[in-house]
Structure 1
């Protein structure tokens, strides 16, 4: 087997293992790894978006079977994210003839979103504690205001995910915790996955239509990640969360800082 192909399979295995063990979104790990392998930013993002859509699709079935999805919240998020993703794809398409400019925009956006993701991972527990203290009071917001904020969150996620393939996991979950602190964790996670799959699918197919896709690379990543997720899921909790999260946050923060420069 070609060394490059083996490297992609191992990368998929490592990312899948970490995702299964920690629940951290695969995009925040996979896209920087693809850049390290020399894949151009646009192709890395496009490939990772469909990779995310495929790997998370099974989660919808499981969470729906366990009634862990709030389809009302998913609908409000999608109302914002789907048009935002379409508009972002259109804007990227206007830069498509200038490959250097397109890759520069994606690379810098990726750096900033990685920094935000690192902060979300690092301070997640504090944010959750804050949300729990306000559980049930909706922060004194009316349902109309809460729905509007949910749509606004969807817009932000739609732009970030389409530009970088990152944000639907770590950032999306934290945003939902802050908006809906009265929902149990497993229901928020299921809702986030139900929203992430169509968003990454729309964004991924949009990138594929612009040629920002490597189908062979996608296959190699899936070959490694599917067994990696399975193994990681069985080892979840073996490494203390207070140790693991700062390490991941530091790594993502460093990568983001290097991309922004």
Structure 2
């Protein structure tokens, strides 16, 4: 067991706790650039890492806050889980005929990071506009959920969003957090921020678990690395969550978005 993995896990967990940004957008590039892991192994390990760390968060959101809309979780999963399975099948077939999949995964990772960086910036704009229109209270409470689309299109749009997330998350381990929350904010503009986070978190667990187990079957998971990351990240997330109220988010998020954008461009252009 490498203690540096645990230290890195602690640092990422701390940032996740403070910013709420998914660990995939931070952990996967760290494993690739700092420790030299293949992109496929970094993605596979991070997916199982995400499934485990997000589970505790859902218990809090569902049990304490009641902030999970299981109806929307079901619609998202109806799109994401089948498409995650299809993506894994395609990767397996490409590996079976000797096709190198690392380049495809690396490029997908770069695209996902660029989208995540944009999503971090767009999220602040969407929240500001929603508050200006009176759609969201300052405390994000007492708002009736209302979809952007008419009922006949609401379910198909949510399922389609889930399908896109399913492919992207399976290929890159990035997107279940920042991209998922921005997608929900667009689809359901009158949903409270707390419920958006809880719903996105609940959907991310089966998606990252399925994708992670699929990568495990393909040999793309380092179990010792996974344990080392968890040892560091779990206390990091706990500490970061308590620090989040003391650190100005409007300074931290743009800086984080800039870093992710640069990393994403490096993945795409290398």
TM above 0.5, one fold?
yes
User: Residue 131 of structure 1 contacts residue 177 of structure 1 at CA under 8 Å; is this kept in 2?
Assistant: no
Match of 1:48 in 2: 46
User: Structure 1 CA distance, aligned partners of 2:171 and 2:97?
Assistant: 16
Match of 2:141 in 1: none
User: CA offsets per residue over residues 78-124 of structure 1, 9 Å max, x none?
Assistant: 00000010000011111224777200000000001100000111221
Match of 2:11 in 1: 14
Match of 1:260 in 2: 268
Match of 1:176 in 2: 184
Distance 1:174 1:52, change over 3 A: same
Counting only pairs closer than 5 Å after superposition, residues 113-152 of structure 1 correspond to structure 2 as 113-131=112-130, 133=133, 135=135, 138-139=147-148, 141-152=149-160
Q: Which structure 1 segments of 5+ residues have no match?
A: none
Match of 1:58 in 2: 56
Counting only pairs closer than 5 Å after superposition, residues 228-239 of structure 1 correspond to structure 2 as 228-239=236-247
Offset at 1:130?
Answer: 3.7
Residue 103 (str. 1) matches residue 97 (str. 2) = no
User: Structure 2 CA distance, aligned partners of 1:86 and 1:16?
Assistant: 28
Residue 195 (str. 1) matches residue 203 (str. 2) = yes
Match of 2:140 in 1: none
Distance 1:76 1:137, change over 3 A: closer
Normalised to the residue count of structure 2, the TM-score between the two structures is 0.91
Across the two proteins, how many residue pairs are aligned to each other? 257
User: CA offsets per residue over residues 199-222 of structure 1, 9 Å max, x none?
Assistant: 000000000001111000000000
Normalised to the residue count of structure 1, the TM-score between the two structures is 0.94
Task: Compute the RMSD of aligned alpha carbons.
Answer: 1.6
Q: Which structure 2 segments of 5+ residues have no match?
A: 136-144
User: Residue 146 of structure 2 contacts residue 191 of structure 2 at CA under 8 Å; is this kept in 1?
Assistant: no
Offset at 1:134?
Answer: 8.5
User: Residue 88 of structure 2 contacts residue 170 of structure 2 at CA under 8 Å; is this kept in 1?
Assistant: yes
Match of 2:172 in 1: 164
Distance 1:101 1:130, change over 3 A: farther
Distance 1:134 1:166, change over 3 A: farther
Distance 1:117 1:98, change over 3 A: farther
Residue 208 (str. 1) matches residue 216 (str. 2) = yes
